[in-house]
Amino acid sequence: MTVLVFGQAGQVARELARRAPEAVFLGRAQADLSDPVACAAAIRAHAPVVVINAAAWTAVDRAETEEAAATVVNADAPGAMARECTALDIPFLHVSTDYVFDGSGSAPWRPGDATGPLGAYGRSKLAGELAVRAAGGRHLILRTSWVFSAHGSNFVKTMLRLAATRPALRVVGDQIGGPTPAADIAAALLTAAALLRDGAEGGTHHFAGQPETSWAGFARETFVQAGLAVTVEEIATEDYPTPARRPLNSRLDCTALATTFGIPAPDWRTGLAEVIAELKESGS
């Protein structure tokens, strides 16, 4: 029984490897998402029982000047994977993002709400969702937000690195969302994969950490748990300009996933404690 995972070095892929070491993981050397045909061929070659796409173009700002390349990775490749899975009649699970929404209002976004990405990255991820659905097979699109872990580049590691040399940090306080531990995303994907193989209905679902907070609030909790005396000054998004616009409202309503798959939204503070403990243990 082969579980095939696209992705190897990313945050979610590394957490999947911890929980499913028997799975086959394809990094860029084995399956480059800039070559969708090769991705489909890899699925045929491995003949898996389920495929999880945990790889993506995640350079949000760079996508503004390289949208075509981002779209190949985030849309064309998942579409090719999904079509191959449809042909083989196996489930396909794909990770998406809160950036498919425009960030308006203050209510948590539901899976069926109208999309409206603000930038190239969001457009590429939305195109990927559309391609996966169009393939017509058994699938799960899992939208998530603000992913963090002890691996790779993420907000928690950036804050801890900056805190080593600065007694105070200015952090955006008007973007609200749910930090999500990569470990919980991996666990949710594996649970959903097993249920899809047993006949559960898939579709589009949301999975994000609770309770909601701002980036500034996320930073404060990080410093508290790390035992660091760092002052956090809240600033507005407009005071921290970036090439790509960020959504102000990244809240995700995760009710449907809990109802359909029995997977509750995680408490990100618990996941944060585990990440900080791991970083301390590794000396990072």
Cα 147 to Cα 182: distance, rounded to the nearest angstrom: 6
Q: What are phi and psi of 262, to 5 degrees?
A: 70, 25
Report long-range pairs for 19-23 (Cβ below 8 Å, ≥24 apart): 19/186, 19/187, 19/190, 20/190
Give the containing element (helix H, strand E) for 67. helix 67-71
CA–CA gap between residue 176 and residue 48 (Å, rounded):
38
**Cα torsion 96, 240, 224, 276: sign:** positive
| List 57, 101, 121, 148, catalytic entry | 121
Is-catalytic flag, 121? yes
CA distance 147 to 98: 11
Alpha carbons 69 and 62: distance in angstroms, whole number? 10
**Does a cis peptide bond (omega within 30 degrees of 0) precede residue 211?**
yes
| Residue 214 CB-half CA count within 13 A | 17
Between CA 75 and CA 100 the distance in angstroms is 13
Interatomic CA distance for residues 98 and 225, integer angstroms: 26
100/119 Cα distance (integer angstroms): 9
Q: Are 171 and 235 in contact (CB under 8 A)?
A: yes
Active site residues: 121
